[in-house]
Structure 1
Amino acid sequence: TVFNQARELSRKLEPQTHAYHEIWLDAKRIYSGAEEEPLYGPGYLPRKFKIAFTLPPENDVDVYAQDLSFVAIEKEGKLLGYDILAGGGMGYAYGNPGSFPRLADIIGFCFPEQVEEVARQVLLIHKEFSTRCNRKTSRLRYTIAGKGLDWFTNELATRLPFPLQAARPFSLSTNGDAADVPGRQTIEIEGGRIQNSNRQQLKTAFHEIASIHQGDFFITGNQNLVIDGITPDTAEQIKSIIGKYNLLPNDSGLRRNSSACTSLPFCPQALTDSERLLPKLVDELEPQLKELGLWDEEISIRMTGCPNGCSRPYLAELAFVGRGPGKYNIWMGGSRRGDRLGFIYQESVPVKEIADVLRPVFARFAAERNQGEGFGDWSIRALHPQSL
């Protein structure tokens, strides 16, 4: 139900005329009249607008990092409606104090039949009030931060033909991928790139699986691949292919929860490496994790080649954000739930020194953590500047 509602909302909010394709996708011009987009008008949006849906306790889409999110609220298997979050975003620019990552605010609850109108009106507020003169600050989060949450909720209330209800309680357990159930298998894709490498023959393996699989493939918000709808008559064959190509290696919890943007050489915004570097960095860190008994510890680790935050590093328990060629700011303190921003632990650390910086940190974590305490929660308690 939630998936279908997300798909339908996407269909309703996408551009309706062909003009968008003519402008951005190099399509052949087929209409030159005065027709306008029924929702967007003549100017489209000031900047991109991201919408996410999730069903607690899962949060692999990082609802607090999106412009608009809908968190499904259910009772006894029945969908009651959605809590609404607005104003999240990750990217910022060095040297620009007016740009910053921000968590979305919970602004209320709506029923399933009200989702489209809520999304339309929030999108229109972004269209009408977000700045168009500065690309760095043209996201909805800056409008809400600048004008205030009360202004935003009041403006939304004047536009909606119905009142929003108070938000319902919900609990998120992890922004990692959901646990596998019968008929579904998640395969870790390091760096999010399906390719044949010395480590794994992913491309070949998935080609073999696709030739017999009767269900679907889904890409997760953590760059992994879900083989869904595995039927009893293909289950053993798929399991055999997974084993043949070692698609479920005994990786550390750190590697299982790693994510990186493409960065160099593909992204013009990149200041330094990310996708190519993170696996090598994890290689350096894993021997100590094994020594300390932390091999299976689920630690979310993310890397970006610049501060734009495409892999959502500011929500991770441990993150590396490109500061310049071969240098990174080390962030810590995000939560496994994806509901807390981290803090900068050290700035401009040369890549060759990152492992040395982290060795005493991991040693302290292993020795000092409380029962069941995750790395992000411990680092907030033990290493955040306000805790020292």
Structure 2
Amino acid sequence: MASTDNKLSPVEGIKDESNYLRGTVAEELADGTDHFSKESIQLIKHFGMYQQDDRDARASNRAAGGGKDYIMMVRTRLPAGLLNSQQMLEELDLCDEIGNGTLRITSRQGTQFHGIQKSDVHQLMQRMKGVGLTSLGACGDVNRNVMCCPAPFKNNELHDQIQKTSFAIADHFAPRTGAYREIFLQDPETGEKTRVDENGNEIVEPIYGKHYLPRKFKMGICLPEDNCIDVYTQDLGMIAIHEGGKILGYNILVGGGMGRTPSADKTYPALGMKLTYVSPEDLIGVCEAIVKVQRDFGNREDRKVARLKYTVRNMGLPEFKKKVEEYFGRELPEPHEADVTDFDDHKGWSAQGDGKWFYGLNVENGRIADFEDCKLKTAIREVCTTLNPGIHFTGHQDIIFSDIVEEDKPKLEAILKKHNVVLTEEISNTLRWSMACVAWPTCGLSITESERALPGMVDDLEKEVAKLGLQDEKFTLRMTGCPNGCARPYNSDIGLVGRAKEKYTMFLGGRLLGNRLSYIYKDMVPADEVVPELVKVFTAFKEQRNDGESLGDFCDRLGQEKLLEATGG
């Protein structure tokens, strides 16, 4: 570890003493209590699980003299967001039988179960294994779910290769400890896949080592013409450079990340910087070198500044590249001139290229549930049962149904309409490009509402945008309940970040393409003033925009001071 032992953060000590993440997790699962110890809370993250509590119930519990209502959130790890109908149905069954009745698509193309009791964790993990799913590495100080364009184009080498590569990377960087199998699966394959060093010592984690990474690590792969996974927000982003239908190599970006702490100037959101260009054959090797540099030189004293973005900027990109070359074993070339040029959300109908079709359905804020006026969960269950499509989750928390034959296209739409699910073709652009994190009542980090607040704001804003005749404009609108930025608000056209109860920091000037950061337009905006403030911005945009200028480009061109003048402050 790069830091001296007496300065390590407490989490580093917990990992050090855990025997490769085991700790006392197994004993605590069997102790009859409804929660884990503070040490185990840090370890179970590596198994894709967070301990939470129902924050809506806190006040009433305190008044009654009780404690917290503990619940677990469990994530699945799904490289490129890909799974099949059988797996989807099992996840829906699990959310009904042992969860809170809902399943949530994450902004990293995975899924989340909410409301899981500690006593049901074994059942959840084992049933997921039964259909080939895992939560190992979905959270924690390791490489998280590998994002990749999920579009199911067939007979297309570009999409085939990047999706296969995302699976190869996910497997290469998966934790090797046997703790997950021992504790949760209790199967006969228990035991690490160990290596032996030159001195005959066993190496349990050849990439991560005993202490794993200083902080979480995120990777994503995209094509230049389709940055649907927000490649610039990744710790390690890969842009597949291609020509004539063949991938020639990958531009490597390093140091992206969204989280910030407003009270700590040392923290900030950042976009990735171009490091090098590598061949497909060298890709995983270079990625491993980058991860190992972060392992050995990332900050283990202060978790607020432990992400790769701080390591890169503290070292300086040239010095960081030299260190990566040292770990990789040879010099690396300069980046390719190619960059991202467009963004496709893959919604609506598209031809797959093999005579079949896929349909991208908008899922507001990723929440799969049956509501009073819309039975989305029931509709998805019927689609999977009757049509058996492939399932693909997008980085915008939506779902794609693939392998639909021509004659079944009306059947799919009929099933959705029967359950009052609004088709993608019928939603507004305001809704289409919006996204919110979970926030209250389950996320322990949230300062204020997000998922429960954004739908009402979208309903109000889309009406005002239509009144201005701007309903055809494309703009991203993203909200988070705290500055950690799980819904990636800092590079969107409009970002709303929880600052205090029912108050938000308003960010403007990012863009749909995702390769520009926004700036703080106004701070501490009350929830009921968010839409009126945005209406002022849209009005100024309509009156003063240049030809073909997007909302984000307009706000970026004016900057905060001039935009405040244009909107009357």
Please confirm whether the aligned pair reaches a TM-score higher than 0.5, indicating the same fold: yes
Which residue of structure 2 lines up, in the alignment, with residue 227 of structure 1? 401
Give the equivalent residue in structure 2 for 1:2: 162
Which residue does 1:122 correspond to in 2? Answer: 290
Distance 1:75 1:159, change over 3 A: same
- Deviations along 1:103-125, one digit per CA (max 9) or x if unpaired, are 10011111111111011110001
CA displacement, residues 49-83 of structure 1 (integer Å, 9 cap, x when unaligned): 11101112111211111110111111011111111
Letter in 2 for 1:361: V
Q: CA separation in 1, counterparts of 2:464 and 2:433?
A: 17
Query: Which residue in 2 is equivalent to 1:202?
Result: 376
User: Which residue of structure 2 lines up, in the alignment, with residue 133 of structure 1?
Assistant: 301
Match of 1:218, SS state, is strand
Match of 1:157 in 2: 325
CA contact (8 A) 2:176 2:204 kept: no
State the secondary structure of the residue aligned to 1:73: strand
Tell me whether 252-261 or 13-22 shows the greater mean CA deviation: 13-22
The CA deviation at 1:28 is 5.7
Equivalent position to 1:77, from 230, 242, 245: 245
Closer, same or farther in 2 for the Cα pair 1:93/1:28, shift >3 Å? farther
How far the C-alpha of 1:163 sits from its partner, in A, is 3.3
Q: 1:294 aligns with which of 470, 473, 476?
A: 470
Q: What percentage of aligned pairs have identical amino acids?
A: 34
**Equivalent in 484, 496, 499 of residue 308 of structure 1:** 484
Deviation for aligned residue 1:31: 5.6
Instruction: Give, as a single letter, the amino acid of the residue that structure 1 aligns with 2:424.
Output: L
Cα deviation digits, residues 174-232 of structure 1 (max 9, x gap): 44513642211111111110112245321111111111234311111001111122223
Asked if the contact 2:177–2:191 (Cα under 8 Å) also holds between the matched residues in 1, the reply is no
Return the offset for 1:147: 1.3
Which residue, out of 103, 106, 111, partners 2:274?
A: 106
- 1:167 corresponds to which of 327, 335, 338: 335
Larger Rg: 2
Map of 1:1-388 to 2, 5 A cutoff? 1-19=161-179, 36-175=204-343, 177-178=345-346, 180-182=349-351, 183-244=357-418, 245=420, 246-248=422-424, 250-385=426-561
Distance 1:269 1:130 in 2: 23
Residues 465, 535 of structure 2: 8 Å contact kept:
no
Structure 1 residue 26, shift from structure 2 partner = 5.5
- CA change 1:385–1:155 in 2 (3 A) is farther
Q: Which moved more, 1:239-248 or 1:347-356?
A: 239-248
CA 1:146–1:171 in structure 2 vs 1: closer, same or farther (change >3 Å)?
closer
Q: Which residue of 1 aligns with 2:96?
A: none
* In structure 2, C-alpha distance between the alignment counterparts of 1:214 and 1:54, rounded to whole Å: 27
* Long gaps (5+) in structure 2: 1-160, 195-201, 352-356
Cα deviation per residue 1:6-42 (whole Å; 9 max; x = unaligned)?
Answer: 11111011112313666xx756696699752122121
> Residue 203 of structure 1: SS of its match in structure 2?
helix
Distance in 2, Cα, partners of 1:288 & 1:99:
35
Secondary structure, aligned partner of 1:211: helix
Q: In 2, Cα distance between the equivalents of 1:155 and 1:386? A: 43
Q: Which amino acid aligns with 1:257?
A: W
Aligned length: 386
TM-score (norm 2): 0.65
Q: Which amino acid aligns with 1:116?
A: I
